[in-house]
Amino acid sequence: MALLTSSFPKHELDEVFPRPPLREVAFEIRFSPRLRVNSELWKIQEELINDYPALTAEQLLQASGTVLNVNVFQNPNSARAIKISQENFVVAFTRYTRFEDFKEEVANRVKGFCQKFDVSSLTRIGLRYVNNIVIPTSDDPSNLLRYVRPVIDFDRVPVEALEQFVSEVRIRQKNHAVTLRGALLAPLEDGRRIYVLDVDCHGGPGHTADDVLGLMDAYHETAQLFFLDHITEEYKNVMRGKA
Amino acid sequence: MFSMHSSLRTPPSRLLRGHIGLLYDATMVGGTALSPESQATEFYLTPFAEDYVTVRVDAILAYERAITELRLQVLHYERIIARLTARPEIKDEYTDVQPVIPLNTTSVRLINSLLQASIPTEASFRDFEEGEL
């Protein structure tokens, strides 16, 4: 099975599905640690408080053994969150309408943050889409293949014997990379299965805050290609509400 | 990455529920950060999930390093507290009673005979020749 050997016609790329499986979209910039972020966080809070009134904190244990404190500003009603630490800034939506809406919010917030804390050089930029594709209840595990095309060679792994799996690949594109994850989760109570399709487009160091908008468009296009390549025509009808 | 996603986690009970959290955390390091865990993983509550987890070795090492560091700090502060709260000991020779071990009767007789022995003033020690013994 070849991955992305064919390009998609424009009308397929432009199609907006009424019932997409998208569970979450997140955009992140990373930069060299800025200690002033934590001490002057109130400055950015003044701008966020109306749209993101809830404030919590997270602690992330990093591979180096250190703990990173992350401040989380949330709007539970609109299902949006902004996460800020001394080395990253994240905008995440768990209720996604259109890419243009998400992009506008990211552009405004990232610009405001970078100006306020004088962040010019970025070490990483990432755009990530997480999809939950619900596979109908069935005794036949190969039902999965009606909707998705996992990056697994089913000549070697019989699909009839499948219970669960996780796959993860990192693929180099022209100017960035894509981390593609697929996972068939354990059954839900009612017997339905969830297949998670996680597409993370990201670029390394050398970018500035001014590159954000252009890179978002490029990453979005790549994510779209990988998504369309991963699903079947039958699942497109599900997303259209026709099945 | 035992971290995306990821927080200081994770009591064993949550491992049953947060499949997607495990997916994000237990695979490649460095993925784009997602929304807070409370938003993301509640959806994946599944009572039938099996506790089958693949965890990266470097994630385990990171946790062990953190635990060791915390333990060292606990010891350090315990020592400081012990030093600050300990009462100085005042030695009192009159309250310390040293145990006395009595001599047996044979030893007492020997010592008494030595003390009571009279040695003539002209007596002097001289070396013995082998033939004299």
* Interface membership of B15 toward A (CB under 8 Å): no
pLDDT of residue A216: 95
Q: Is the pLDDT of residue B8 over 50?
A: no
B49 compared with A104, residue with greater pLDDT: A104
A44 compared with B96, residue with greater pLDDT: A44
Mean pLDDT of A235-243: 91
B17 compared with A219, residue with greater pLDDT: A219
B38 compared with B61, residue with greater pLDDT: B61
pTM of the model: 0.70
* Interface membership of B65 toward A (CB under 8 Å): yes
pLDDT of residue A119: 92
Which chain A residues are closer than 8 Å to B16 by Cβ? none
Q: What is the pLDDT of residues A130-185, one digit of tens each?
A: 999 999 877 777 889 999 999 998 889 888 888 888 899 999 988 899 999 999 98
Q: Are A149 and A1 in contact (CB under 8 A)?
A: yes
Which chain A residues are closer than 8 Å to B3 by Cβ? 60-63
Q: Is the ipTM of this complex over 0.85?
A: no
Q: Is the pLDDT of residue A215 over 50?
A: yes
Mean pLDDT of B14-20: 41
* Interface membership of B55 toward A (CB under 8 Å): no
**Residue A63 is nearest to which of B39, B44, B58, comparing CB atoms?**
B58
* Interface membership of B2 toward A (CB under 8 Å): yes
| Percent with pLDDT over 70 in chain A | 96
Which chain A residues are closer than 8 Å to B71 by Cβ? none
Q: What is the pLDDT of residues A46-74, one digit of tens each?
A: 999 999 999 998 887 776 767 888 999 99
